[in-house]
Amino acid sequence: MTQKASNDPMPASPKRIQGPLLGWFRRTARDLPWRRTRDPYAVWLSEVILQQTRVDQGLPYYERFIQTFPTVHALAAAEESDVLKLWEGLGYYSRARNLHRAAKQIVDEYGGAFPETASELAKLPGVGPYTAGAVASIAFGERVPVVDGNVKRVLARLYAIEESIDSGPVSARLWELAGSLVSKSHPGDFNQALMELGARVCTPKQPDCPRCPLRRQCDAYAAGIASDLPVRRARKSVPHKELAVAAIRRNGRYLIVRRPSNGMLGGLWEFPNAPMKPGEDPARALERITASIAAVSVKPGKLLASVNHTYSHLKVTMTVYVCEAVAGEVMLREHTESRWVRPGAFEHYAFPKAHHKFLPILGEEAPPLSL
C-alpha cells in the first residue's frame, strides 16, 4: 500500500458525512434499552458494560444491573461483593470495581447528580476519554467525540489511513478527525451512529460496503482496499501458565479465599492455587500451595479436573485436586478473606470464569475430567 500522510485534508466535509450517517441511524438503529433514555446513569452503565463486550453479551448484564441497582444511589450503597457477583462472567473485573467506586464518588461529591461535561466525567474512576465523551454527548448533548475500536476502523477506512492505528500519532489523528465530524445539533446520535456503523456494517472482516451509507465518501472503498484496513500492529504471542489448584475439603465444605481488590480478578473468590514449577510433582505443589497460601496441612487426593481457559493476555491450564484438610488453621498472606463453603452455596460467591468449569463437579464422585 501507498501510505497516506496523516495530515492529508479530509475528502468530504462533515455535513456530507453527518447527513447520510444520521439518516441511516434513525432508520435502522437497533432498539436497545439505553437508547430509550437520556438518563446519564443508564447511559454510563451501558457504556461501561459494553467496553470489550459485544452488545448481545452485555445486554442481559445491563438488564440485571438496572433491575438490581436502578439508580446511582442504589449502586453506591451496594456491597462490592454483590456488584462483583452480578458482574460475574463478564470479565475485566476492574470495570465493576471502578463502576462501584465511581457511583460512590458521584453520590458523595456530586450529591448523586452526574457531572455534565466530558472533562468532569473523566475525573471519575474508570472513566476515560471514550466513556466520558459517550456519556457527555448522549446524556447532555455536549459536542465531543468518541473513539473506540469500531470508530477507529470506520475512520481508518473512510480516510484510507494506511499507518497502524495503534501508533500514538495516528490515534491522536483519529480523535482529531472524530472531533471534526461530530454534529453540533445531534452529537449523541452521531456518536452512536458512528459506533453502530462499525459494529454492523463496517465490520473487521468483509465490510458490507454496498450497504454502507458512507460508501460515496469513503476513500478506502474508492480505492478497493476497505478489507485491507485498518492496519494493526502484530499481536504478541499469548503466554501460557500452568496452575495447581487445591480444592481443600473439611466436613463437606471447601476452602475458598478472596483476592485483594486491586489487580487481576480483584475481589473475586478462588480456590488456593499457584503456578506449577517445571517438572514439579503435583503432590509437592499442593503442599507448597497450602503451606504458603492457606497454612493448612492437607492430604492430597485425586485429580478432579484439568481446565483450560484463555484470558485476553494469558492462557492458563488449571489442574484441580481434591484434598482433605488434616490439621492447621487458615493463615492468609496474599488473600483478604477465607471461608469454608458447601458446594450448594458456591452460587452466592463471585468466582473467575475458569473456576466455573469445575465448580459443578465438586462434591460429586466424578472421574478425572479434561475441560
Q: How far apart are CA 359 and CA 225, in angstroms?
A: 48
In Å, what is the CA distance from 106 to each residue of 97, 133, 283? 14, 17, 50
Across the chain, how many H-helices and E-strands are there? 13, 8
Strands (E), 227-272: 240-250, 253-258, 269-270
Q: How far apart are CA 331 and CA 294, in angstroms?
A: 6
- For residue 221, the one-letter residue type is Y
In Å, what is the CA distance from 220 to each residue of 2, 152, 327? 12, 14, 68
Q: Are 368 and 99 in contact (CB under 8 A)?
A: no
Catalytic residues: 47
Rg of the chain on CA atoms, in Å: 25
In Å, what is the CA distance from 121 to each residue of 51, 114, 132, 262, 307? 16, 8, 5, 22, 41
CA nearest to 191, candidates 230, 147, 226, 155: 147
DSSP-H helix ranges across the chain: 14-28, 40-49, 55-68, 72-77, 80-87, 94-110, 118-121, 129-140, 149-158, 168-181, 187-200, 219-223, 282-289
Grid cell for residue 69: 441497582
Q: How far apart are CA 65 and CA 47, in angstroms?
A: 13
